[in-house]
Amino acid sequence: NSSDLKGASAGADGKLKLDINLSVHTDGISRDAQAKPEVIITPVTDDIAIGVSTNTVDEGVDVALNITLPTNTVDGELGNAKGWTIVDGKVYIHIADGALAGQLTDALGNALVEFTGTEPDGTPVGGKLYAVDADQLAGLKFVPDATKPHQTGKLDITVLVKNQEQGAGNIEVSKG
C-alpha cells in the first residue's frame, strides 16, 4: 500500500480526482475494489519570504534598502490568476524608534510621508511606518538627518505585506 501524489494538482473545479484500485489476496481468496473519489482542495494563504537587507555605510551616508518580494511561492506567482496578490497593493516599511534619525526617500530622492492609516497586524510598536506600492521598492533609501552628521548605530527595519492566495479565505501578514 503506497500513495504518491507528487505533481498532483487540483483541477479547474478545485477538486483532486483520485483513481484508487485495491487488491487483496488471502487464504486463496482474492478481492478487487475500485474507487474514484474527488477531494475538494481549499486554498489557504501561506506566509511569503520577504528579503530585507542594507549595506554597512559610513556616518552621514545614505543607506540603500534592498527589499525583495518573491515572484513565485507555494501559493503560485505574484499577480497570476492562480497565484497570490498583495491585498491592498502596499508594502509597509517600519523603522524602529531609537534607530538613526533621518528620512525614508524614494528612488528620486523624494521624502516619503509617514503612513497614518490602519497598521497591518504585527506592526512593531512605535517608530515610523511608511507604505509604498510594490513597484516602488527599487531605489528606496534612508537618508540620515543632515543636522546630526555623526550618528552611529543600527537601522532596524521591518517590512510587512498583507498577502492572499487566489481563492483563499484567509489573509496573511508576512514580515521580513
| Average pLDDT score over residue span 45-50 | 92
Mean pLDDT check: name the lowest of 15-24, 116-125, 166-175.
Answer: 15-24
| Nearest-angstrom CA–CA distance, 10 and 125 | 41
Question: Does the pLDDT of residue 7 top 60, yes or no?
Answer: no
Q: What is the CB neighbour count within 10 angstroms for residue 21?
A: 9
Q: Which of 90, 75, 151, 145 is nearest to 123 (CA)?
A: 90
Compute how many other C-beta atoms are within 10 angstroms of the C-beta atom of residue 41.
Answer: 15
CB crowding 131-160: b at 16 or more within 10 Å, else e: bbeeeebeebbbbbeeeeeeeeeebebbbb
Of 53, 79, 10, the C-alpha closest to 155 is: 53
- The Cα–Cα gap between 5 and 30 comes to 27
Could you tell me whether strands 38-40 and 66-68 are parallel, antiparallel, or unpaired per DSSP bridges? Answer: unpaired
pLDDT in tens, 55-110: 888 888 899 999 999 988 888 888 888 889 999 999 999 999 876 889 999 999 99
Write the pLDDT tens digit of every residue in 125-173. 999 999 999 999 999 999 999 898 788 888 899 999 999 999 899 999 9
Grouping H, G, I as helix, E, B as strand and the rest as coil, residue 85 is: strand
Question: 43 pLDDT band (50/70/90 cuts)?
Answer: confident
The whole-model pTM stands at: 0.80
Phi, psi of 134 (to 5 degrees): -60, -30
CA pair distance 44, 156, nearest whole angstrom = 31
Return all residues near 135 (Cβ < 8 A) that are at least 6 apart.
none
| Residues shown for the chain | 176
Instruction: Count Cβ atoms within 10 A of the Cβ of residue 161 and give its class: 0-12 exposed, 13-18 middle, 19 or more buried.
Output: buried
Amino acid found at 24? V
